Amino acid sequence: MPTIRLTVLGDSFVEGRGDPAPGGGYRGWVPAFAAHVGLPPAAVRNLGTYQATTQDVVDRQLPKALAGKPPLLGVIVGVNDLVQAWDPARLRRNLHTIFSSLGGMDTTVFTASYPDIPANLPVPEGFRRLLRGRFAEANAALAEVTTATGTLCLDIAGQPEWARRAMWSADGLHPSPLGHRRFAESMADQVSTSAIAA
């Protein structure tokens, strides 16, 4: 049985929604990222599930990731907390649990900030402002937790290209095929740069 070198936890962003595969299912950024960092498909485990919250990751995905923990771990989760199950204290607590559990001397853990998804959604302007406030609060919590745990965080919220409509699928929630490819490239650059610096 091949040794797992990369495990990615999270929601439908990790699952690959927005980037359909020709034979059904989704491709997404995870396989492209793995290829960029030189990992074959058999060395990759994708635990991403549709509509997963940070609580789902803590309860269901984290134990699987910690069993035979690989040297490279990714986590993209939290948007469902922001749009469906908003509890800022729980979000912060879960993020800390996830990243503090995954980190360690022999592991590299990476994530990304929350981009301005509210800009893409067909919602009343008042609700858009409310969501943006949540996203800003979540990004502040994520920055605090990743700094404390030594987690690499790609700041896509601060990158103008992620404001382009072409980066998002028709639903506004999931990256388009272009968005998935760009995310894979950007994250691979971030991880590779960190490895060289170390």
Mean pLDDT per 10-residue interval, the chain, length 198 residues:
90 97 95 97 97 98 95 97 94 98 92 97 95 98 98 96 96 96 97 71
- Residue 47: exposed, middle, or buried by beta-carbon count in 10 A (0-12, 13-18, 19+)? buried
The domain limits of the chain are 6-197
CATH of domain 6-197: 3.40.50.1110
pLDDT of residue 196: 58
Handedness of CA 183, 135, 85, 170 (dihedral sign): negative
Find how far residue 27's CA is from the centre of its chain. 15
